[in-house]
Each structure stands twice: as structure tokens, then as C-alpha cells.
């Protein structure tokens, strides 16, 4: 297995470098506004819709940034990762763009739309038991067997830096509109997205608070922040937000997030469905459950939005039709 030895923690400079590296390779997703959203929140809401990103989620940013920095020896054996779907799709697409082989370990029962999309990019897929498999150990074994390089879904400096580019874009677009973000809220699973965003905010908009939003029963980031150490979930929560079911924060991501995040909140399945429906009806964006949690928290009044300017990241839109229909039918 080829090992990557980048700096242990990325910095704001790494996010800026990622933005330059990704220019023309990823979609610069727009900043969306809606007067009804402002009215409901009691403030100014700026939405970053990453379902419009290539492969349907923010994950393409970090995956591409990581793949582009592989050297010749690391590229030879291809890449391996583990993912519930969005990171797997992103790695598959980023690898295909560079002519690299990709093997994706996915949990049994992963949404069919994510499995099919990953295959469409030419990646090989192997399935594992979500509840009884050490994902990191599995990826390491698979990579060792084929001399490949592991690109994990969140706990990697290049992945983290790539994800932070979306926050840079939102900060820039807000300023172009004469606005400054008072707060930014985004989903937190393993913490790679929010860690990248926290680094971007630290360098480009240091007065902006960064808030983590998680599904009920999977609020390891919020509990870890309160405890001052990484705490694990018990794994008994609902699997609705499949993109956010990491068992605990990553080592790198928590080291970045602990001193930088303002706090964390969680949302219920009912609040998630309400957000998915609102995004579809008002913003005309299809959002998956895990991708909607920040909007869900805003609509539920769980974020400090009153009289403020707040950024909301819709992180992904790869939702199975049956689940989406369930969200639209919810009262």
C-alpha cells in the first residue's frame, strides 16, 4: 500500500491552494436567496446548494483535491475508500477523470442511487456490514492487497481542504452582495466538511460563527465539543441521514473543529423531511436527508439567525426516490 504523508493538519492556506487547484474542475455552485426563508428565519439566509455539484454533493471537492495531489507511485495502484455513497461517487469520478482505478467499500443497504452512480463512474464496489465492520481496517486491507492508496472520506488534510472551498465561495459571493456572514451552519458526519469550512472562515471571515448540525441519535460532534474529547455514537439512531452516520469525529477533523466551532445542534426526522420539502418547493433543489440538516435546524429555530446573516449549506442531493416521496408526503 502506498502511504500519503501530508502535513498533519491543513490550514487556511491549504484551502486557498485547493480553490486554485479546483478552479474549472468543480462547479462553483451559486448562492441562493428566498424571501420566505428570510421571513421564517427572521434574518438574511444565504444558501449554498451543493446538490448542484458534480456527483451531487460537496464530496467531489475534497476527492478531486486529494486525487490531484497523488504522485506517480500512488497513482499506479489506484485508490481505495469506504463510503456510504457520496464520497464513493466523488472518488470514483475524480479517479476516472485522472484515469485511475478505484475500489469503493460501501455498506450493505446503501441507497441504490448512490451505488448505481458509483458504478457508473467505472469504480469497483465491495459491500460490508455497516454494524460489524471496521471501515478503516477494511480499506487498509483492500489497499494493501492491490498496492493502492487509501483516500478516506473525511480524516485527510487534502480532503478537508477541498471541502472548505465551498465556504470560500459563499463568503466571496456574500461580500459581492454587500453582506457579511454572522454564522455558517453545515452538516457534520465525520467532520471533514465543517472542518474545511471552519478553516475557510478563520482566514476569510474570522467574525463568522460556524455551527455543526447532526441527525438525532448521531450527535457525536456536538457531544464531543461539549466534553472536550471525541465521543462515539451508540449506533442505535435511525439511518435516515445515511450520509452522516460516522461513529465518531475524526482525529484531524476534531482537532480542527474543537477550537473553532461555536457549537452543535441536532434535528429530528420530521424536521429533516420538512427541510427537504421546503428546499424542493421554494428553492427548487432536491436535497437528500443528510444534506438538509442545516436547513432543518434553521427552519426549526435551532440556529442563531434572528436579525443576522446566516449561511446554510445544502450538502448533497443523492436521495432515493422512495425516500424523497416520503419527505414530500410528510405534513
Catalytic residue among 84, 117, 292, 315: 315
59 classed as catalytic:
yes
Q: How many CA atoms lie within 13 A of 283 on its CB side?
A: 29
Catalytic residue among 48, 59, 205, 246: 59
Q: Please give the angle made by the CA atoms of 194, 12 and 309, to the nearest 5 degrees.
A: 55
114 classed as catalytic:
no
Distance CA 98, CA 187 (A): 29
207: cell is 467574525
Q: Which residues are within 8 A (CB) of 51 and not within 5 positions of it... i.e. 6 or more apart?
A: 57, 285, 286, 287, 288, 291, 314, 316, 317, 318
Q: For 98-128, b where at least 16 C-beta lie within 10 A, e where not — what string?
A: eebbbbbbbbeebbebbbebbeebebbbeeb
Q: Please give the angle made by the CA atoms of 325, 282 and 331, to the nearest 5 degrees.
A: 45
Distance CA 290, CA 278 (A): 15
Alpha-carbon dihedral sign for residues 91, 92, 97, 100 = positive
What residues are labeled active site? Answer: 59, 315
Amino acid at each position: 500500500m502506498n502511504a500519503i504523508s501530508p502535513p498533519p493538519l491543513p490550514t487556511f492556506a491549504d484551502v486557498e491552494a485547493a480553490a486554485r487547484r479546483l478552479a474549472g474542475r468543480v462547479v462553483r455552485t451559486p448562492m441562493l436567496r428566498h424571501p420566505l426563508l428570510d421571513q421564517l428565519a427572521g434574518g438574511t439566509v444565504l444558501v449554498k446548494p451543493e446538490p448542484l455539484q458534480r456527483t451531487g454533493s460537496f464530496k467531489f471537492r475534497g476527492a478531486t483535491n486529494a486525487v490531484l495531489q497523488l504522485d506517480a507511485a500512488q497513482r499506479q495502484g489506484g485508490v481505495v475508500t469506504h463510503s456510504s455513497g457520496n464520497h464513493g461517487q466523488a472518488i470514483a469520478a475524480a479517479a476516472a477523470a485522472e484515469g485511475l482505478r478505484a475500489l469503493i467499500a460501501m455498506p450493505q443497504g446503501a441507497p441504490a442511487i448512490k451505488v448505481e452512480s458509483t458504478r457508473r463512474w467505472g469504480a469497483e464496489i465491495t459491500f460490508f456490514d455497516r454494524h460489524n465492520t471496521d471501515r478503516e481496517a477494511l480499506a487498509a486491507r483492500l489497499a494493501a492487497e492491490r498496492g493502492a492508496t487509501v483516500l478516506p472520506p473525511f480524516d485527510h488534510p487534502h480532503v478537508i481542504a477541498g471541502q472548505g472551498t465551498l465556504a470560500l465561495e459563499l463568503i466571496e459571493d456574500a461580500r459581492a452582495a454587500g453582506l457579511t456572514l454572522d454564522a455558517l451552519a453545515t452538516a457534520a458526519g465525520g467532520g471533514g466538511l465543517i472542518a474545511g469550512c471552519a478553516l475557510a472562515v478563520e482566514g476569510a471571515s474570522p467574525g463568522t460563527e460556524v455551527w455543526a448540525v447532526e441527525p438525532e441519535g448521531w450527535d457525536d460532534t456536538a457531544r464531543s465539543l461539549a466534553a472536550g474529547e471525541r465521543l462515539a455514537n451508540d449506533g442505535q439512531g435511525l439511518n435516515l441521514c445515511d450520509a452522516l452516520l460516522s461513529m465518531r469525529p475524526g482525529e484531524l477533523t476534531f482537532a480542527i473543529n474543537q477550537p473553532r466551532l461555536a457549537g452543535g445542534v441536532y434535528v429530528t426526522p420530521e424536521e429533516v423531511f420538512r427541510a427537504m420539502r421546503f428546499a424542493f418547493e421554494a428553492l427548487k433543489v432536491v436535497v437528500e436527508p443528510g444534506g438538509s440538516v442545516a436547513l432543518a435546524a434553521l427552519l426549526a429555530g435551532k440556529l442563531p439567525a434572528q436579525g443576522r446573516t446566516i449561511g446554510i449549506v445544502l450538502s448533497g442531493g443523492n436521495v432515493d426516490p422512495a425516500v424523497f416521496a416520503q419527505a414530500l408526503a410528510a405534513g
